[in-house]
Structure 1
Amino acid sequence: MFRVVIVEDEYIVRFGIRSMIDWESLGLMVSGEAANGQEALDLIRESPPDILITDIKMPIMDGITLITEVRKFRPHMKIVILSNLEDFQYAKEAIRNGVSEYMIKSDMMPRDLEATLLRVKEAIVEGAPSSENKLMQSVVVEPIVREKRWLELVEGKQLDPVRRQEILESLGLADVKLPLYMLHIAKNEWALSVEEGQALIRTALGEVMTASSESEDVYEAFPDRQGEMNVLLFERRMAVPGKDEVRLMAQAVRQYLKNHYSISCTIGVSSPTSSCSELHQAYEQATAAAKYKMFIGSERPILYGVDYVPASSQLADNIKVSTTHIHSMVYAFQTKELHAYLEDIFEQLTARKDYDIVEIISLELLILLTTLWSEVASDQQRILQLKKQYYEQLSKLETIQMSKSWFLQAFEALIAHMVGIYNSDRNGIIKAAQYMQQYYQQEISLQSISNLVHLSKNYFANLFKKEMGESFLEHLTRIRIEKAKALLTSELKTADIGHLVGIPDPKYFSKVFKKITGSSPSEYRNRVRGDN
């Protein structure tokens, strides 16, 4: 098992990287974490990993310096850079230092990270074979080469025609002109490692495919970079050709895996293609069909063009989540309104039927949910466990209906928790209001007043507005202006009055005073004197 170290200064990002994939199933383990380059360098010197995942911009020591230092004593370590789009100029320098992969954090999805790590792991194995691997090389090299060439074909949308022809000739398919089907076997949930799952799928294919055909040579099976198995069916060699036969075969494979190994999977099936040069298109169709389980259910074959028919045109409007609106509804305890809002979002997602958009929206909602919990709960260890639990639960949801139900229940639980602690926290708001009434002339910030009553800043701000009907700053400013109005009946200078009520800038004091009272301090003073 290969060791991985994660270096990222933002804890939530570090936690997300660690939680978004099943490391053990990839043959990897997270052996350490660090919040900056210096911590990472000390950790790597003490216990060098096989793979380093690092951010670029970090305090104390940035990612570029870390890579430079690591290369001095570990020149062949595999390194994956994580960064933002605006830091691409740094990526060029990282690439010069021998970085294996470069990923944009804002675009990174779990499957992308898995694919990257599998590529890096494959490069480690190829670059430094063990003595056992060398002894086995003469036995296994041909199947491995075939699988890599199949993978190159299905990923080769921009593959050079000359290279494609070379691959086809090496596979004995240079002149093949017959209908082909691609199957993509997507796991739903199982506890096996990637390698174990692939081995059992190969066994199931061997049992089912040979029993369904007069010839044993009816398919080719190979994993993609995500570790999912793909099967190419040669229709002409089947006993009974056509989509119905393909569906029956796919169902038989799925049922065999379920009955014999308790493996749950969904199988996406492409439309027939008559040329090996179009295998990349068949692969894209099969994977898209498998993802469609989110909308029609899992544990079944899904045929592209039959069960899954892509929309002829995308909806013009993007689906947007208003974090501010959700935030307000949560703090106002508006459970029904929040349910209706989330129902509408998931109705739009269901109508759009776009797997990637569902993942993006789900991630946005999850981040908002965990952020809100961090604001209202004092036990940060519990919050950490809750975040991990949420990530794990969400990763196992297979349909959009399951995701919708999960989010409705999760937000309802959050609001119920807030209602439970509301009465006790109201005393803190009363205490804060009394403090402002007494010490208005001093510098009072949102952070200092929330610390005084032992509440988080964001939670205090929202609870204060709910309880007092105005924001913390509006309330404090109103107190100061009321005190200023009383002082303006005296002979004190306007600038001095501003200092006395906690607004030392004369221009700002006049501006705020006029905004609230409708007149400048001097106009107000003259009017009061005239009235007297």
Structure 2
Amino acid sequence: MSEYCKILIVDDEFIMRQGIKHMLDWEQEGFQIIGEASSCQEALEIIETNIPHIIISDIVMPQVDGIEFTKIVQEKYPQIQIVILSSYSDFEYVRSSFQNGAVDYVLKPSLKPLDFLDTLKKIAKKISSVDLPSKSAVNIDNLLNRLILGYDIDFEHLNKLFINPCFCIFGINAKKVYPNYEERQKLLSSLISEIDLQDFKEEVTQVTNIENDMIVLIINFKRENYTNVENKLIKISNDVASKFREAFFGLSKEFYNIENIKEIYETDFLLLTQQYFYNKNINLLSSKSLKKAPEIEKFNFKGFSELVSILKIPKAFEMLTEYINKVINNKALTEFELKTLIQNCFYNVISTLEYLNSDGISSNSLKRECFDKIDSSKYAEDLMEAYQEILDLFNKIIDKQESNINSHMLNKIIQYIYDHYDEQLTLSYVSKLFNFNYYYLSSYFSSHNEEGFNEFLNKIRIKKACEFLQKDIPISDISSMVGYSDQSYFSKVFKKFTGVTPSNFRKNSIKGLS
């Protein structure tokens, strides 16, 4: 007979998984939570190595839903009992899940611990290999797990166990090291074996598993034994890293009350595991060796977007590259923050190139390639290599699309002149506005248009003045309305373009209407 009835929880919501895992002291009731999965694929990987008696599965999940998952499990593992979690609106789904082998369902909005326990006990009694004990001993691992995750517990058993004044947390985020479940399990098994090989006779130790992938070792020791404890942990990390090259361990600072373990876990230990990204070829990082990252200013995304919008894309990338190098040198952002920033910038550029209708650019495939390269970068060094590869790709695209880009830029400048002809526009002002060198813009404008900047501006103004002169508006007002502060200069320019003065143009227009 099995000592426990083994349960696997499958739900894409972390809070829901944790709520089920800690709603009861399962092992006291004869059940054991053997794992949690956020997707059906992850659940199937767990089942291959540790077959549960019961699966508690959400019915609505991304990619493969609970109905399809139930069908897959029942075809391969018909002995597994499946309980479906659903909301009130999912009843038609629930009915389909029964047709595919589910044995019961529970409504999430009305989920009550004791009623849920009663449902599972009824199912367990039908499993021949399970004989639920009346009550099991207190499980310290479960107590610590609940404490670390913020659930209320009775400290009586922990206070009796941990008799030394000092504590520290040592452990690893296996999911960060290996995305493959089977590889993670090999790594964690190796870690447990190495811990068992160490002589912790003078210390009190307890291993606990957080969310399948985070294994932590809580060490309770005398203050004078810290160096000895640290040396043992260094040996463990070195021995595991000799078999799993990318293994990365964190060692928290000392603390002096087991009740503080949640705070240390969240604000110290988890911070260490996030530093994996910046510490290639290092297998152990401790709080005392971790330097506090200096605060740096936020990236000027508005300035980056403005450069991209006027197609100064290489200049925008110079700005981004400088900021990324600063972040990596100072380890100033988390991996997620840095990758998100880069992906947002790339998305901005791709959308702009897409707007130009650039030939040969498949925006979806380009976005996918950029995002995949960034996401798959394990270390800061890898990220910079991927980033440079993407920059090279963009440079090639920009070189090929130079004519489109130039045409687009000229259109933007011309449109701006049409929209702002009544203002005191100068070539110097427009060059600064569009971030162009004054002399370059003068040459650029002349080479892409029939006339230079000033002549083009005057042509637009005089054309507008002609429209106004056919209305009952004083000529002095029309002069300022089209951007000329000096009426005599306006008349001079007007005669140059039309061959007549503004007043004669108006008289001729009136005669033509008579």
Q: TM-score, normalised by structure 1?
A: 0.54
- 1:320 equivalenced with 2:299 (yes/no): yes
Give, as a single letter, the amino acid of the residue that structure 2 aligns with 1:176.
I
The residue aligned with 2:77 is none
In 2: Cα distance, 1:513 partner to 1:133 partner: 93
Distance 1:396 1:367, change over 3 A: same
Q: CA deviation at 1:530?
A: 7.0
The residue aligned with 2:277 is 294
In 1: Cα distance, 2:309 partner to 2:413 partner: 23
Question: Unaligned 5+ residue runs, structure 2?
Answer: 1-8, 14-36, 46-58, 68-85, 95-107, 419-440, 449-453, 496-500, 506-514
- 1:71 equivalenced with 2:51 (yes/no): no
**Residue from 374, 377, 390 that aligns with 2:370:** 390
Q: CA deviation at 1:393?
A: 2.4
Give, as a single letter, the amino acid of the residue that structure 2 aligns with 1:211.
L
**Residue from 351, 354, 361 that aligns with 1:374:** 351
The residue aligned with 2:262 is 280
Structure 2 contact 203–221 (Cα < 8 Å) conserved? no
Q: For 2:237, what is the secondary structure of its paired residue? A: helix
In 2: Cα distance, 1:275 partner to 1:518 partner: 78
Structure 1 contact 182–286 (Cα < 8 Å) conserved? yes
Q: CA deviation at 1:150?
A: 1.4
The residue aligned with 1:109 is none
Q: CA deviation at 1:246?
A: 1.7
The residue aligned with 2:164 is 177
Give, as a single letter, the amino acid of the residue that structure 2 aligns with 1:177.
N
The residue aligned with 2:396 is 416
What does residue range 31-430 of structure 1 map to in structure 2 within 5 Å? 49-50=65-66, 71-74=88-91, 98=109, 131=123, 135=127, 138=132, 146-156=140-150, 163-164=152-153, 166=154, 168-171=155-158, 173=160, 176-187=163-174, 188-193=176-181, 196=182, 199-213=185-199, 219-225=205-211, 227-235=213-221, 241-258=228-245, 264-284=246-266, 285-306=268-289, 308-310=290-292, 315=295, 318-325=297-304, 328=307, 332=311, 335=314, 337-338=315-316, 340-350=318-328, 352-356=330-334, 359-377=336-354, 378=357, 382-423=362-403
In 2: Cα distance, 1:178 partner to 1:340 partner: 53
In 2: Cα distance, 1:384 partner to 1:293 partner: 31
Distance 1:99 1:341, change over 3 A: farther
Q: For 1:417, what is the secondary structure of its paired residue? A: helix
Structure 1, residues 162-218: CA drift from partner, whole Å, max 9, x if none? Answer: x45x1x33457455224333123123443422xx45543442133212222265996
In 2: Cα distance, 1:385 partner to 1:475 partner: 44
Structure 1 contact 184–229 (Cα < 8 Å) conserved? yes
The residue aligned with 2:424 is none
Q: CA deviation at 1:519?
A: 6.2
Give, as a single letter, the amino acid of the residue that structure 2 aligns with 1:27.
A
Distance 1:303 1:73, change over 3 A: closer
In 2: Cα distance, 1:466 partner to 1:24 partner: 62
Q: For 2:170, what is the secondary structure of its paired residue? A: strand
Distance 1:468 1:411, change over 3 A: farther
Between the two proteins, the alignment pairs up a number of residues equal to 381
The residue aligned with 1:27 is 43
In 2: Cα distance, 1:133 partner to 1:389 partner: 52
Q: For 1:305, what is the secondary structure of its paired residue? A: helix
Structure 1 contact 323–368 (Cα < 8 Å) conserved? no
Structure 1, residues 25-53: CA drift from partner, whole Å, max 9, x if none? Answer: 64399xxxxxxxxxxxxx98xx99459xx
Q: For 1:292, what is the secondary structure of its paired residue? A: helix
Structure 1, residues 426-445: CA drift from partner, whole Å, max 9, x if none? Answer: 578889999999xx9xxxxx
Give, as a single letter, the amino acid of the residue that structure 2 aligns with 1:224.
I
Distance 1:327 1:418, change over 3 A: farther
**Residue from 493, 514, 518 that aligns with 2:471:** 493
The residue aligned with 1:62 is none
Q: For 2:300, what is the secondary structure of its paired residue? A: coil
User: Alignment RMSD, CA only?
Assistant: 5.7
Distance 1:204 1:333, change over 3 A: same
Q: CA deviation at 1:334?
A: 6.0
Structure 1, residues 440-495: CA drift from partner, whole Å, max 9, x if none? Answer: 9xxxxxxxxxxxxxxxxxxxxxxx9997599xxx999976533123456x6x2158
Structure 1, residues 195-247: CA drift from partner, whole Å, max 9, x if none? Answer: x4554344213321222226599643333248422222344699983322222
Question: Unaligned 5+ residue runs, structure 1?
Answer: 6-20, 30-42, 52-68, 78-96, 101-121, 259-263, 441-463, 498-509
Distance 1:427 1:22, change over 3 A: farther
For the pair shown, the structure with the greater C-alpha radius of gyration is: 2
Q: For 1:290, what is the secondary structure of its paired residue? A: helix
